[in-house]
């Protein structure tokens, strides 16, 4: 078994990694996490992910046990030790382990864990041709910008979508279409790329940021506002983005076919630009 886990200062094999039953991540979801892609053994947008990790931790008053530089070094060492080339690194920090009380324990040491694994490239290549999605009510809390371990509404939304044969669940909240269970969503209308603005209703995706930058470079106009549900149905193109899946065309929303069931030109262009950027930054 390869060494693929880092836990509280120690690199080890997965079966050697043990966390207390009193860990507040386990009991309360009292922690935050990150997911980072690696290509050819190099971590993509590492600094951006580490900045968001620090913001998420600060958002729940959790002091990280290491500096950003130390965490970056641990990520790279773990990746090297595991021998992973194309995969993902999952990182989470919890407030730590202490007898169960809702309030923060007066003395507690955070639990920090990282795990790497290879990615099934073939699975994602298929999805890049397009998927269908289901809209669901956004029943999450008011701090969706914090990448917290409390993912139950996301888990239930994704399960609802998957159990009905849809790939992703799209959240609808009061201002409109917010994001998806594990991705940011974009529509193209009148040639403009539209996606929800940063704020407490969405997780500010690292891939979303890259998509907006690439669209800008390509001269494609972008607008930050909440698309309405009927706009989603009638859009010229729809796609979503996240770290693991990158950019995925949406070919139908609640059974309404988009762009005659084919990925749109802007989506394809952005997919191509994204691939080039990854190649440049990780080779």
Provide the binding-site residues for ligand PLP, judged by CB under 6 A: 35, 154, 179, 182-184, 203, 205-208, 241-243
3-state secondary structure of 143: coil
Task: Kindly tell me the burial class for residue 280, based on how many C-beta atoms sit within 10 Å of its own C-beta (0-12, 13-18, 19 or more).
Answer: exposed
Identify which of residues 206 and 215 has a Cβ nearer to ligand PLP in the complex. Answer: 206
Nearer to ligand PLP, 51 or 109 (CB): 51
Are the beta carbons of 133 and 166 closer than 8 angstroms? Answer: yes
Q: Shortest approach of ligand PLP to residue 242 CB, angstroms?
A: 4
Would residue 147 show up in a list of annotated catalytic residues for this protein? yes
Taking the complex as a whole, the smallest distance from the CB of residue 243 to ligand PLP amounts, in Å, to 3
The residue (of 4 and 56) whose beta carbon lies closer to ligand PLP is 56
Catalytic residue among 81, 147, 262, 275: 147
Strands, E, within 196-260: which ranges?
A: 222-224, 237-242, 246-253, 256-257
Cα separation, 185 vs 167, whole angstroms: 13
Tell me phi and psi for residue 164, to 5 degrees.
Answer: -105, 10
Judge contact between 171 and 179, C-beta under 8 A.
Answer: yes
Task: Quote the CA–CA distance of 155 and 169 in Å, as a whole number.
Answer: 10
Q: What amino acid positions are annotated as catalytic residues? A: 147
């Amino acid at each position: 078994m390869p060494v693929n886990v880092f836990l509280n200062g120690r690199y080890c094999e997965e079966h050697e990694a043990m966390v207390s039953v009193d860990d507040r991540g386990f009991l309360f979801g009292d922690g935050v996490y990150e997911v980072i892609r690696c290509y050819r053994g190099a971590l993509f947008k590492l600094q951006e992910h580490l900045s968001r990790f620090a913001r998420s931790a600060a958002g729940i008053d959790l002091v990280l046990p290491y500096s950003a530089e130390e965490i970056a070094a641990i990520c790279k060492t773990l990746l090297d030790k595991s021998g992973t080339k194309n995969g993902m690194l999952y990182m989470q920090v919890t407030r730590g382990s202490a007898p169960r009380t809702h309030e923060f324990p007066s003395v507690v040491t955070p639990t920090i864990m990282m795990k790497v694994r290879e990615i099934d490239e073939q699975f994602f290549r298929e999805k890049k041709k397009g998927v269908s999605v289901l809209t669901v009510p956004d029943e999450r809390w008011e701090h969706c910008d914090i990448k917290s371990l409390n993912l139950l509404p996301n888990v239930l939304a994704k399960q609802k979508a998957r159990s009905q044969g849809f790939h992703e669940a799209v959240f609808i909240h009061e201002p409109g279409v917010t994001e998806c269970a594990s991705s940011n969503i974009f529509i193209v209308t009148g040639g403009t790329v539209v996606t929800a603005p940063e704020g407490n209703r969405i997780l500010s995706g690292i891939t979303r940021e890259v998509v907006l930058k690439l669209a800008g470079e390509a001269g494609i106009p972008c607008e930050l506002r909440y698309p309405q549900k009927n706009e989603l149905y009638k859009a010229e193109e729809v796609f979503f983005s996240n770290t693991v899946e990158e950019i995925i065309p949406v070919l139908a929303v609640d059974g309404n076919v988009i762009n005659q069931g084919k990925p749109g030109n802007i989506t394809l262009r952005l997919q191509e630009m994204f691939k080039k950027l990854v190649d440049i930054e990780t080779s």
